[in-house]
Amino acid sequence: MAAAGSSLRQDDPQLLDETEAARLLGLSRRFFQLDRFRGGGHRIPYHRFGRMIRYERKDLLAYLEATRVPANCPSSDRRE
């Protein structure tokens, strides 16, 4: 186990708490809570350590990429 204050090795996952994950993606903490409880299409993987929830940075970035809508793609949320 790493000593307090030591940095993670390059190959270790960078774990973020709910607040840090929300800040990284520009979403609310409630979004992450609902994602865990409801599940659904683009569920973000997470780790549970007792009551603690942690997200891997790579999973958050993968979620961001998976939900990307290209500029040349007709959007289903466009109102006419």
**What pTM does this model have?**
0.71
Residues in the chain: 80
Q: Is the pLDDT of residue 62 over 90?
A: yes
Among residues of the chain, what percentage have pLDDT more than 70? 71
Distance CA 25, CA 8 (A): 22
Q: Is the pLDDT of residue 75 over 70?
A: no
Q: In the chain, what are the domain boundaries? A: 15-66
Distance CA 57, CA 14 (A): 6
**What are the tens digits of pLDDT across the range 26-47?**
999 999 999 999 876 678 999 9
